[in-house]
Structure 1
Amino acid sequence: MINIEEQRVTLSKIGEEMLNLCQNQVEQSFEAFITFDTDIAEEVILKENRINALDLKIERDLDNFIALNNPVATDLRFALALLKINYNLERIGDQAFDIANHTIDLNQKLAPELVEKLQFKVMFETLESMFKDIVTAYTDENLKAARKVFKKDKVINQINANTFIVVEEEVTKNPALVKQYLMALVVMKKYEKIGDLLKNISESIIYYIDAKILKHKKKK
């Protein structure tokens, strides 16, 4: 019979697979929207089924882990943390799915000046950095990496807040781009939401790691 530690390792690897899949979805949704690549957008839409299937598998496996092992202390915190992480990752997948659909609905490439003024690339690069911190925090149980996410999320929030001001000023100057500006507002909000969800994941990782560190300190 597989012991509880081996079960945790298996569950953790499946969680890592979900994390990598959702990160890839966000990256592809950004590329599709910025370059107006509907082939990539369609790929993101199709991959949503994989995310949903993996989400259900993780939930089912964690339910079995709890039911069969009746975990306590760190083991229980691990299960609860992974449940929350999985929930937030599935929602990140939803945001990428929506962005891919918006790309197809917009049916035109964003004007380069719009991309620059709204700081799309800065926002994405910040999100990309947050994902890297999350991966490090998750795989290496690195508290320092997990805590970096909070500061970076503030950058995302500030860019999103500035978006409304920029759109208000620019839309009167170039009414021909009004559809692009309005869609950009929607998509920027999606990326801001992804930042919030990554922050939630970071909190769950810290919740688990802190408990593990405290457990080892007590043993000493």
Structure 2
Amino acid sequence: MMNHIDVELSDLRVKLMEMWDLVEYQLQSGREAMLTADHELAGKVLKLGKKVNNFDVKIDRMCENLLALYTPVAVDLRLVLATLKINANLERIGDTAEGISMYVQNRNIPFSPEMLEITKAVAMFDEALSMFHDCRTAYKANDTDHARAIIKRDKMLNKIYRKSDSIIAEFMRNNPDSILEGLALLSIIKKVERVGDQITNIAEEIIFYQDAKVVKHKSKKKNKDNGNQ
């Protein structure tokens, strides 16, 4: 039979999964709205923000109650601490999806297929969605190998983001009437890059609570060291 703290922890994980599904729907819809200039869908993503915020508050409260009532230790304590951080990152990903949808609402026609193609914006969005989905799987299965693999995949998003400035600037030079469109797409690409960072943060928390290892900033330090060589 499960004791009280196990029941509470199980409820906490279920609640977090519900929020995860909601934010995933926001992200997927944001992508769809971006490709079709669908104002109605973009509006739906924005409306869901309130629901995501309610989940955020509820999960924070559940974590606070667990800490106050049960003083968890070891893996249980790490799960509560990791959940607090994952919750915050999910809420931010939801905000980012809303930000993307706001750009869509300001446009009357879809983005130029050529601009989407040369920037690899859709491939980037698809990879972010795939990482987000796989991160959920890793969390459910307590799979730290899977979580580590997700962290490595963020490099692709960073690479596309780094190149997007010059690619879009060149496109706008050759197509002066596409300046507003180019700036909007650049902003969306930056937001998708942030989603990659937030997913990486979640993957790091999965590793922390399972293996009691803090992986945050490790890869950044390695990159700096390599750069100094």
Tell me whether the two structures share a fold, i.e. TM-score over 0.5: yes
In the alignment, which residue of structure 1 is the partner of 2:161? 160
Give the Cα separation in 1 of the matches to 2:132 and 2:37.
Answer: 23
Scaled by the length of structure 2, the TM-score of the pair is: 0.89
Across the two proteins, how many residue pairs are aligned to each other?
212
Give the Cα separation in 1 of the matches to 2:139 and 2:154.
Answer: 18
Give the Cα separation in 1 of the matches to 2:205 and 2:12.
Answer: 15
Give the Cα separation in 1 of the matches to 2:180 and 2:126.
Answer: 25
SS at match of 2:106: helix
In the alignment, which residue of structure 1 is the partner of 2:103? 102
Deviation at 1:108, TM superposition (A): 2.6
Name the stretch that deviates more: 73-82 or 126-135.
Answer: 126-135
In the alignment, which residue of structure 1 is the partner of 2:91? 90
Deviation at 1:106, TM superposition (A): 2.7
SS at match of 1:109: coil
Is 1:183 matched up with 2:180? no
In the alignment, which residue of structure 2 is the partner of 1:8? 9
Q: Which amino acid aligns with 2:94?
A: G
Q: Which amino acid aligns with 1:117?
A: I
In the alignment, which residue of structure 2 is the partner of 1:217? none
Q: Which amino acid aligns with 1:153?
A: D
Q: Which amino acid aligns with 2:177?
A: A
Q: Which amino acid aligns with 1:180?
A: E
Give the Cα separation in 1 of the matches to 2:166 and 2:129.
Answer: 25
Is 1:173 matched up with 2:174? yes
CA contact (8 A) 2:36 2:109 kept: no
In the alignment, which residue of structure 1 is the partner of 2:71? 70
| Deviation readout 1:187-219 (Å, 9 max, x if unpaired) | 10000000000000000011011139xxxxxxx
Deviation at 1:2, TM superposition (A): 5.9
* Percent pairwise identity: 38
Name the stretch that deviates more: 131-140 or 192-201.
Answer: 131-140
Scaled by the length of structure 1, the TM-score of the pair is: 0.93
CA contact (8 A) 1:106 1:183 kept: no
Moved over 6 A (4+): none
Unaligned runs of 5+ in 1: 213-220
Q: Which amino acid aligns with 2:65?
A: N
| Deviation readout 1:76-100 (Å, 9 max, x if unpaired) | 1110000000000000000001111
CA contact (8 A) 1:133 1:148 kept: no
Instruction: Report the aligned-residue RMSD.
Output: 1.4
